[in-house]
Structure 1
Amino acid sequence: MPMDFDWTMALGSFLVAIIVGLTGMGGGALMTPMLVTFFGVSPLAAVSSDLVAAAVMKPVGSAVHYRQGTINTRLVGWLCVGSVPAAFSGVLLAKALGDGESVENIISKAMGVALMIAAAGLVLRGYLAHRGRSGTPEDGEQAPEITVRRVPTVLVGLVGGLVVGITSVGSGSLIIVALLALYPALKANQLVGTDLLQAVPLVFAAALGHLLFGDFRMEVTAALLVGSVPGVYLGSKISSRAPSALIRRVLALVLVASALKMFGLGAVPLAWTLVVLAAAAVAVSLYLRGQNARDRDKLPSSAVSPGLSGASGEQSERGPTMAA
């Protein structure tokens, strides 16, 4: 291992990779700004090194979800039809554009708006699920069969791959927003698992382009790999088994964080904003839980299990029956 190996960079990549494994996104939107802001890596070198590291990190996270059965492979296939060639072409396009910084700035602002909309959508879905009016399956429910919309899915992959090739951002952030819109019936862990697997060939194609035409730096990539591989494994283990409501809350926070980063918010204001949002989310959750408890207390005992009061007495005489 080289003497100039940066352990603080490895620790930072470990923390970011946990978020990637937990939510399927945040790698490019958080890792690349971290390299530029805190470690002084040039933007092109940060993009190149991040993508090469992600080519190793993403398969680790997707393998965990594949074993848990939380991946829609048909969606992955149609996304890759558009994203793989577009990701490689995005690197060439970034080279061809003379003012790449202004193009990246426009893309970042547009993505910031999309990410904020997606975060608001997740909050709304959580509220509807709490009120019992959401069509999104929760834990323990059988998810409906997803009908793959081929043309929109390929277009999502194409746009996402192009943006990834130019900026390294979007393999999770941009595509997971589109999947939320196209397939609202996907459970939260299915959304994360599908997004992680589709990102594997996409990131490989973009990484190959940056190895050939970018500014790849081995010492940066090595530090990212040391931290990101165990981090994404840990995050994926949690997300493949965690309750959908928990993943939805974390995903909403990451969406907001990524959006604010796209708008150019500094690290310290971003950290304080997330602390306030997390505290507000906990307060709202506790309030709703207390409200549910009060509503249950107001119900008469017969209303808790309507139509079962007579059956329960009948069952007690017969003895316990086998659960379905």
Structure 2
Amino acid sequence: MDITYIASGFAVGLLVGMTGVGGGSLMTPLLTLLFNVHPSVAVGTDLAFASVTKGAGTITHRLRGTVRWDIVRRLCAGALPAALVATWGLQQFGTLNQGVAVFIRYSIAISVLLTVVAILFRRRMLDWVHARPGRQLQGRALTTATVVSGVVLGTLVTISSIGAGAIGATLLVMMYPRLTPAEVAGTDIAYAVPLTAIAAVGHWYLGSINWALLFTLLIGSLPGITIGSWAARSMPERFLRGVLAATLTGVAAKMIY
């Protein structure tokens, strides 16, 4: 089974490297559907996985100067308290409770579908924003919207481990259309580090992290991400994102039914 986990980690890493979509939308459903890992354990393990990989990514983006720390602070102002509240809610109801397991399962499915929307319509959303500069948020309204977005993302990530990747990046380009693609990626990764770390600590406290599984997945995912990043240069992005969107839609449907 370890070989299968390593292969799964490699496959997810490969897709993440080629498409840039967060691993949570791939890894968490995979663990739940294919390996019958309890939903809360799948979420907790993936959060720990994400905090390690995104931490390494943040160091690189910081060295390149592609992190907008002012936006990171605003997102964290909403996301971190939301993560703590969501963790408290999971503790109150019990992560191994069957009703909570069903709730987490549906939360994962909804988060996956939101990721599909972000993948398919991100360019159209951005074009819409650019075509209407008068409707772009400014000043206090922009700050408030960023904090509220952090609350939504913090809740989604803590419950389902999904949301910090494609959904977070889409919200960033909608609110801050003047960011460069590198700044969107760097800022999205940077705010996700403390968020996934806090959520992972909460799940560790709740006993819903499988450490052996985590290390096994990392063995496969690290080379997969490296190879995928190189392969992305020769693969058509539209094709990759279309395949990924179709796959995730099937995953969400399977989790619901």
Fold conserved between structures, TM > 0.5 = yes
CA contact (8 A) 1:111 1:259 kept: no
Q: Say yes or no: does 1:166 pair with 2:159.
A: yes
TM superposition score normalised by structure 2 = 0.77
Classify the secondary structure of the residue corresponding to 1:153. helix
Letter in 2 for 1:9: Y
Deviation at 1:253, TM superposition (A): 5.2
CA contact (8 A) 1:14 1:230 kept: yes
State the distance in 2 between where 1:75 and 1:59 align.
Answer: 17
Q: Say yes or no: does 1:188 pair with 2:181.
A: yes
Letter in 1 for 2:251: K
**What residue in structure 1 maps to residue 124 of structure 2?**
124
**Runs of at least 5 residues in structure 1 that lack an aligned partner in the other structure:** 137-145, 267-324
State the distance in 1 between where 2:239 and 2:69 align.
Answer: 25
TM superposition score normalised by structure 1 = 0.63
Deviation at 1:176, TM superposition (A): 2.4
Please identify the structure whose Cα radius of gyration is greater: 1
State the distance in 2 between where 1:27 and 1:151 align.
Answer: 28
**What residue in structure 2 maps to residue 45 of structure 1?**
41
Distance 1:9 1:72, change over 3 A: same
Deviation at 1:192, TM superposition (A): 2.1
State the distance in 2 between where 1:124 and 1:256 align.
Answer: 18
Deviation at 1:222, TM superposition (A): 1.1
Residue deviations 1:128-185 (CA, integer Å, cap 9, x gap): 6xxxx9949xxxxxxxxx9672111111111111121112122224322322332333
Q: Say yes or no: does 1:92 pair with 2:88.
A: yes
**Worse-matched range after superposition: 205-214 or 75-84:** 75-84
State the distance in 1 between where 2:46 and 2:85 align.
Answer: 18
Letter in 1 for 2:8: G
CA contact (8 A) 1:25 1:171 kept: no
2:253 to 263, 266, 275: 263
Q: Say yes or no: does 1:15 pair with 2:11.
A: yes
Residue deviations 1:177-233 (CA, integer Å, cap 9, x gap): 322332333333332222111111011001100111132222101102222334445
Aligned residues: percent identity? 30
Letter in 1 for 2:55: P
Q: Say yes or no: does 1:115 pair with 2:115.
A: yes
CA contact (8 A) 1:71 1:197 kept: yes
User: What is the root-mean-square deviation in Å for CA atoms of aligned residues?
Assistant: 3.5
**What residue in structure 2 maps to residue 308 of structure 1?**
none
Letter in 2 for 1:12: S
Distance 1:106 1:223, change over 3 A: closer
Counterparts in 2 of 1:236-315, with a 5 A limit? 250=240, 254-255=244-245, 257-264=247-254
CA contact (8 A) 2:129 2:174 kept: no
**Worse-matched range after superposition: 55-64 or 183-192:** 183-192
**What residue in structure 2 maps to residue 56 of structure 1?**
52
Deviation at 1:252, TM superposition (A): 6.2
Residue deviations 1:9-53 (CA, integer Å, cap 9, x gap): 123213323444555533211111222233332222222222122
Classify the secondary structure of the residue corresponding to 2:254. coil
Distance 1:125 1:50, change over 3 A: closer
Letter in 1 for 2:43: V
State the distance in 2 between where 1:196 and 1:102 align.
Answer: 29
**What residue in structure 1 maps to residue 206 of structure 2?**
213
Deviation at 1:255, TM superposition (A): 4.9
**Runs of at least 5 residues in structure 2 that lack an aligned partner in the other structure:** 132-136
CA contact (8 A) 2:107 2:159 kept: no
**Worse-matched range after superposition: 93-102 or 165-174:** 93-102
State the distance in 2 between where 1:39 and 1:14 align.
Answer: 16
Distance 1:224 1:189, change over 3 A: same
State the distance in 2 between where 1:114 and 1:33 align.
Answer: 14
Residue deviations 1:69-128 (CA, integer Å, cap 9, x gap): 3322222221111112222332221233462234335434543553343233235379x6
